[in-house]
């Protein structure tokens, strides 16, 4: 069965950061920096690279992922598959006079009650993750 846009929901967050796209890109793509704002990982910004995001305490979570696009300083997307959720996270970086306009989209939440917890959890969780990303991007030399 093929899902249509009517069958899924998408989360979108947008922020304006004072750092240039090059610094924001580093915070999004360097494994050590990603760990500071998101989770432990074995990420590489190479299309087709399979990796995991991991949390070990207070609960165990593994997110199976694969890089779908990696256009330096412009766009990054990867699968985000965990506990029955199969979604796509896409980051878009647009240069601005004051830094970078950052857009994050997570798509693929089924529009049925079985995915309400995933959708609401992601909606809550990404706010904190994005706050952390902003803090880390501010420290990139």
pLDDT per residue, tens digit, the chain (141 aa), is 334 556 899 999 999 999 999 999 999 999 999 999 999 999 999 999 999 999 987 778 899 999 999 999 999 999 999 988 999 999 999 999 999 999 999 999 999 898 899 999 999 999 999 999 999 999 999
Residue 87: inside a domain? yes
* Residue 105's CATH number: 3.30.530.20
Q: For residue 83, give both structure tokens.
A: 């506990």
Establish if 74 belongs to a structural domain. Answer: yes
Q: Is residue 36 part of a domain?
A: yes
Structural domain includes residue 108 = yes
Q: Is residue 2 part of a domain?
A: no
Q: What residues contact residue 37 under an 8 Å CB cut-off, 6+ apart?
A: 27, 129, 132, 133, 135, 136
Does residue 139 contact residue 34 with C-beta atoms inside 8 Å?
no
Domain extent for 129: 11-139
Contact 33, 129 (CB under 8 A): no
Determine the Cα–Cα distance for residues 82 and 46; give it in Å rounded to an integer.
21
3 in a domain, yes or no?
no
Residue 51 inside a domain? The answer is yes
The count of structural domains within the chain is 1
107 phi and psi, to 5 degrees?
Answer: -120, 155
pLDDT on residue 6: 65
Q: How far apart are CA 76 and CA 1, in angstroms?
A: 27
Q: Is residue 42 part of a domain?
A: yes
């Amino acid at each position: 069965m093929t899902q249509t846009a009517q069958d899924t929901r998408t989360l979108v967050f947008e922020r304006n950061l004072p750092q240039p796209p090059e610094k924001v890109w580093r915070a999004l793509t360097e494994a050590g920096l990603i760990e500071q704002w998101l989770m432990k990982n074995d990420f590489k910004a190479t299309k087709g690279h399979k990796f995991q995001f991991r949390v070990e305490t207070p609960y165990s979570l593994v997110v199976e992922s694969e890089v779908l696009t990696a256009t330096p300083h412009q766009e990054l997307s990867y699968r985000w598959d965990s506990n029955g959720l199969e979604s796509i996270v896409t980051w878009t970086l647009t240069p601005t006079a004051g830094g970078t306009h950052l857009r994050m989209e997570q798509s693929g939440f089924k529009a049925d009650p079985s995915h309400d917890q995933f959708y609401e959890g992601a909606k809550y969780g990404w706010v904190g993750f994005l706050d952390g990303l902003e803090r880390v991007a501010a420290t990139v030399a």
